[in-house]
Structure 1
Amino acid sequence: MPQVTTQSRTVSTHGTTLTLSWAEATHTGRRREVNQDAVLATYPLFVVADGMGGHIGGEIASTSTVERLQAVVAAGAVSPKTIEKALAKAVKDIASHPEATDDGTGTTVTGVFLDTSGDEATWVTLNIGDSRVYLVRDGAIVQITTDHSVVQELIASGKLSPEEAENHPYGNVITRAVGPSDGVTPDYVRLDVVDGDRFVVCSDGLTKELTDYGIQHFLAENADPAAAVSAMLEAALENGGRDNITIIVLDVAGSSPAAD
């Protein structure tokens, strides 16, 4: 098991002070030889990428995407525009890599960032693929992102129930990815900043093994982000660990007036 630690940062913006705490972990799982997931958890951007394609093609795709997004964070200007420019560069990286030329090579990219550029601070989720962002607010868990997958399209059209989808043979087939043959414009959802919110960003290696309510249970049992990440990772491995597993837990603590 990886060692998981909680990091924190205090952010003063728009007359309020926010304390953000987060932890992340990634694990190969019990059945895969290579971890094709990659993770970025550096304020203000928290992202999971789940690669696919060949033995190492997916690892190249996810790593290239996270590295390009890391550069955006380092430049200090995270926005939909800078994210999309970074993803376009990642597509070129993937396409030019000699070991990532398979048409099926690509990666999901899913996450959340704190946007302080407007009149008030807001969270913005981004998504391409079937990794997910969950929000726990007022005791309820909600999946904020919508999967780009064959199964989700069947559910949306009424041809498949959520229960039937759990073991569908096309459960791993996604309809959008960051890769040579796909566009790089994520779906975005903007959310208010609310005291007490908890975000979970994860690859489908977690959601294959834990239900939404299972995720909520471990969050409720573990107030510390690192403890919550470790508990969910351990449970996912015990339930089979059929895929690579990557988890970020991000807590929003307090929204008090900032000191002058």
Structure 2
Amino acid sequence: MTAVQLEHGARTDVGRVREVNEDAYLARPPVFVVADGMGGHEGGDVASAIVVEEFAALADRGYDPAHAAVAVVEVLDACRQRIATYAEQQRARGVGPLQAGTTVVAALLAEHDGAPAWLLANLGDSRAYRVEGGSLEQVTVDHSVVQELVDTGLITEAAAVEHPERHVITRSLGGNQHSEPDLFVLPVAAAPRLVLCSDGISGMLDHEQMRQVLATSSDPALAADALLAAALDAGGRDNATVVVVDSSPAAGDDTHSDLDLEQRLGALP
């Protein structure tokens, strides 16, 4: 597989309204994660921390890049079990009913047809975007009530921004339901910059604002700083977290990929 050089920047902030930061992130190449916890202090913050711990363990022990999807599913199952056990322990202590849960969006460097690719996984409304040639494209699809309303044509994208149920998600890790993640394969060549973020970023900045901010810096750390600052300047109504990852062929490697732009994992052979 073609060697890939990665550079990244990551930032998180409690925002200007919340008292506790329930977001968590991991930037441990080749694994990157953003998790947005739900359930309040000692609920959402614990759930998001569990996600980061489990994916960090995966990054440390390594995985077969040709079978990254298997590794991701196993990690999410481990997260689900740990969150459920924690909730049960809290209820046994009389701290409840506790519905600890978290969204998650993860990006793992993988291999598809012998070429480097990103394996993306998401549950909830934390997002992954790709940036190429000055354009910004959302890759993941929100698991939320307003996204379902938009998909069915009942409301517009503009109306979704101010909808009273805009924070209600339909899939997550934890809670009373077992939710399966969406998985995507995105060729690295089609995503020289990858952005993962919680809705404290995407909910404060529209698509064009995000695109313009990301265009201000070729350095991923500075780009992450700028996105976070813009979200805070826009009101900072939620915890805000962003991870920016830039990829390029390793020095001396002239291999190129002609893979399709994006493929649903379920459609892959």
Q: Give the alignment's TM-score, normalised by structure 2.
A: 0.85
Does residue 52 of structure 1 match 2:41?
no
What's the secondary structure of 2:108's corresponding residue?
strand
Q: Secondary structure at the match of 1:181?
A: coil
- Is the contact between residue 48 and residue 203 of structure 1 (CA under 8 Å) also seen in structure 2? yes
1:6 maps to: none
SS of the residue 2:20 aligns to: coil
Asked if the contact 1:57/1:99 (under 8 Å) is kept, the reply is: no
The aligned counterpart of 1:131 is 126
> In the alignment, is the contact (CA less than 8 A) between 1:20 and 1:251 conserved in 2?
yes
Runs (5+) with no aligned partner, structure 1? 1-13
**What is aligned with 1:43?**
29
Decide which moves more: 228-237 or 250-259. Answer: 250-259
Query: Is 1:107–1:178's contact at 8 Å kept on the other side of the alignment?
Result: yes
- The alignment-based identity, stated in percent, is 40
3-state SS of 1:173 partner: coil
RMSD value over aligned CA atoms? 1.9
Question: Size of the alignment, in residue pairs?
Answer: 245
Bigger proportion of residues as helix: 2
Q: 1:50 deviation in Å?
A: 0.3
Matches within 5 A, 1:1-260: 14=1, 16-77=2-63, 79-97=68-86, 98-99=89-90, 102=97, 104-116=99-111, 118-194=113-189, 197-254=192-249, 257-258=252-253
Partner amino acid for 2:122? Answer: N
Contact preservation (8 Å) 1:47, 1:111:
yes
| Mapped contact 2:25–2:35 kept (Cα < 8 A) | yes
Change in CA separation of 1:170 and 1:120 when aligned onto 2, cut-off 3 Å:
same
Q: Normalized against structure 1, the TM-score is what?
A: 0.88
Q: Distance in 1 between matches of 2:229 and 2:97?
A: 33
Shift, 1:118, TM fit: 4.7
Contact 2:7–2:246 (8 Å) recurs in 1:
yes
Residues 24 and 52, structure 2, Cα contact 8 Å, conserved in 1: yes
Paired AA for residue 71 in structure 2: T
Amino acid at match of 2:206: T
Greater shift after overlay, 169-178 or 76-85?
76-85
